[in-house]
A and B are shown apart, each in its own frame.
Chain A
Amino acid sequence: SYVLTQPPSVSVAPGQTAKISCGGSNLESKSVQWYQQKPGQALVLVVYDGTARPSGIPARFSGSNSANTATLTISRVEAGDEADYHCQVWDSDSHHVVFGGGTKMTIL
């Protein structure tokens, strides 16, 4: 079955740029989504189809996808960005929704 691999955690200082990776075989051929999860709150879609941002999501959030790695980049990180971030794809070969294990982003 298809596997997406994320680092368990990343740490970044306020005002800096955070990059969260999501690895998978031939990932550039798939549509990658990113979700933000804060405790007790509904998950929020922050990037879809690799690079697109839903309305209401700040331009500080951006996505890229190349070869076997997709990356969520958060510029000018704020304290309120502290959350778990999950990548997700639809694997058309197995007809399965696949999530990465999630990355906990801590603001130093």
Chain B
Amino acid sequence: QVHLVESGGGVVQPGRSLRLSCAASGFIFRSFGMHWVRQAPGKGLEWVAVISHDGSNERYADSVKGRFTISRDKSTTTLYLEMSSLRPEDTAVYYCAKDPVRFGSGSDYGWYFDLWGRGTLVSVSS
């Protein structure tokens, strides 16, 4: 079974930090880029960050650049999102998602998402 399972969400005060995890299974994790996408309550989806198949390249949305760090551990097939200087507007359900492009196919990313997790809720409030 192909799965992505997020964890680590919770209630956190503004200015504090939080680390999200995403456990991947059922596919060759080291061969695909991975993304984080979030959805604020009652709002649409917003792309947050991407990391290449081997962790050598990262990109971020302007809204989180300099505050969030995406990383991955190939030994545990886990994706991470380290969030610091959290703001109330970061309140959202955070989803991890798999990029469809396999390493070696000629492109780094397909820039869409063929597998999603169920998400983990982050609430930033004092």
Interface residues of A (CB under 8 A from B): 31, 33, 35, 40-45, 48, 54, 86, 88, 90, 95-97, 99-102
Contact = CB atoms under 8 A, between A and B. Distances in A.
Contacts of B59: 95
Interface stretch (B67-75, B83-91, B112-120): B112-120
A35 B112 CA distance: 10
B44 A101 contact: yes
B118 A97 contact: no
Contacts of B43: 101
Nearest to A45: B114
B118 A40 contact: yes
Given A41-B118, A42-B116, A102-B45, A90 B111 contact: yes
A64 B93 CA distance: 30
Interface residues of B, number: 20
A48 B4 contact: no
A95 B109 CA distance: 12
Contacts of B115: 42, 45
Given A48-B100, A97-B111, A43 B116 contact: yes
B47 interface: yes
Interface of B: 4, 43-47, 59, 61, 95, 97, 100, 111-119
A54 B97 CA distance: 15
Contact of B44 (A48, A86, A90): A86
A102 B39 CA distance: 11
A32 B47 CA distance: 15
A76 B43 CA distance: 28
A47 B17 CA distance: 36
Contacts of A86: 44-45
A51 to B, nearest CB: 14
A86 B45 CA distance: 8
B4, B59, B61, B111 — most chain A CB neighbours (10 Å): B111
Contacts of A35: 45, 113, 116
A102 B118 contact: no
A48 B45 contact: no
B118 A42 contact: yes
